[in-house]
Structure 1
Amino acid sequence: MNFIDRTGPELGALDPDTVIVLPLGSIEQHGPHLPVSTDLTVASSVASAAVEAAEVETLLLPALSYTKSDEHAWSPGTIWVSWDTLMRTLVDIGRSLATTPARRLVLLNAHGGNSALAAVACRELRREFGLQTFLAHPGLSAPPDERGLGIHGGHSETSIMLHLRPDLVKMEHARRWVPEHLADYEHIGFGKPVSFGWLSSDFNSDGVLGDASTATAAHGKELFETAVGTIASVLGEAQRFRPS
């Protein structure tokens, strides 16, 4: 299951259709109620369980902890790398993987700030090294009452952390951080036709978007199990995917 537990000769004999999974997390502020390891915990936990559940040959790489989190650079505890550092790191990892026969790589990303760059990296790795690349996300659905604004430290992330690492969650500091007025813009916003540049400190001094006060471990368990099932299915599709 773990790439790094195999020997060099074993990795040199991999089937070309082996699916290699690289989780992308982050070390960044998640408000006063969640640890800076939240995205890393989600990415690693979902990836590990999905690889275990997958019905195809799949190998798990160690997660990348330090990624592009500069929207949270204002906060103590955020450790981030520049876009070009992360891009070069992903390209170098792909170059290294290309020394094995395996040609299928899934980036499982749990930090939204990585998404655009990871998509560019997928194409770069496809072009440079002939890898068949895929970008997947855990897909933690947010409740309607967050009005499409529960993107960071809100109900879903808090719930899944209550399931995975309840010892690290400080629910006494959880509250509703939803900038309601943003939902009234027709074109500009998260998930809308027009995106905008932002820092998490633009919205409130805690840098959170969402309603953490409603989070529950039970819902976190549901979110986790759904994410694992979906990603396990994705790994199966990635193994048999043929563009033509």
Structure 2
Amino acid sequence: MPVPPRAPRFVDLTAPAIAALPADTVAVLPLGAIEQHGPHLPVSTDFVIATEAAEAAVAAAAQRGHASVVLLEGLAYTKSDEHAWSPGTIWLSWDTLMRVLVDIGRSLQTSGITRLLFVNGHGGNSALGQVANRELRRRFGLQTFFAHLSLPADQGGTSSREDELGMGIHGGHGETSLMLHLRPDLVHLEHAGRRVPEALTAYRHIGFGKPVSFGWLSDDFGPDGYIGDATGADADAGKARFEAAVGTLVEVIEEAARFEVPRSSAP
């Protein structure tokens, strides 16, 4: 059996080796979370998915040789205040996480890195990540990019199952299937159920993935804290979902290595 390629890791390099990286090198930073995912998934779910996908994509991109890329150590603790009510959730305030991301960008600039790609595994980081993108661009001149493994259903993406009604956003079929593929030893499928807030379909404009978003906490929808339908999740679906996400991330890395903001010429 062939040995899978290893991802080039920033922390394994010496300082002179980092300084000698090509100018278009992409640093990839996985963003996970440590937060409740109901009674059937571990609190590490988002961290496991983000770091595993980022590592596989960086390894594959490096092997293809179309981009210089390095993998940064993933952030486990991020903005998870929508789950702050639950034991097991460890979260940073929005301003703490913003300062962390800004400080990482400043440090990368000192290291000669000019391109930073966030690989996000937790939907609660999305809005802040977009702000960080612009802040790092403005303050340090970095080319910054924010990628999801798949666009969350509550942000315009689709649930992995049609009968989740676009509400499989946390601990549902998609995430459970991914964890059955990546870490089946941590999944307790016997405790999985259907937790789809079908009453939201009564609203035309307001809701998950609709034109008007709303503020919510995960226990607004019930004490289990997950939103979606984890029944019927399976490792094969998770494997297909994971491989598709990794394939897309490889393409994103290669685009990020050559991306330039188009500048229009003066009339």
Paired with 2:248 and 2:221, the residues of 1 have a C-alpha distance of 32
Candidates 38, 42, 45, aligned match of 1:35: 42
135-144 or 98-107, which deviates more: 135-144
Partner Cα separation in structure 1 for residue 101 and residue 84 of structure 2: 21
Superposition pairs for residues 29-178 of structure 1, below 5 Å? Answer: 29-54=36-61, 55=64, 56-139=67-150, 141-178=159-196
2:15 pairs with 1:8: yes
| 1:19 maps to which of 17, 26, 31 | 26
| Cα separation, 1, equivalents of 2:118 and 2:201 | 30
Which of structure 1's runs of 4+ aligned residues deviate more than 3 A?
A: none
Separation of aligned partners in 2, 1:173 and 1:65: 25
Q: 2:228 aligns with which of 210, 215, 238?
A: 210
Q: Is the 8 A contact 1:67 1:114 kept in 2?
A: yes
Paired with 2:170 and 2:32, the residues of 1 have a C-alpha distance of 13
Match of 1:230 among 248, 261, 264: 248
Give the Cα separation in 1 of the matches to 2:123 and 2:227: 13
Q: Is the contact made by 1:14 and 1:100 (CA closer than 8 Å) also made in structure 2?
A: no
Counterpart of 2:4 in structure 1 is: none
CA distance in 1, matches of 2:135, 2:48: 27
CA RMSD of aligned residues (A): 0.8
Using structure 1 for the length normalisation, give the TM-score: 0.98
- Do 1:148 and 1:183's aligned partners in 2 also have CA atoms closer than 8 Å? no
Q: Between Structure 1 and Structure 2, how many residues are aligned?
A: 244
Partner of 1:196: 214
State the 1:12 CA deviation: 1.0
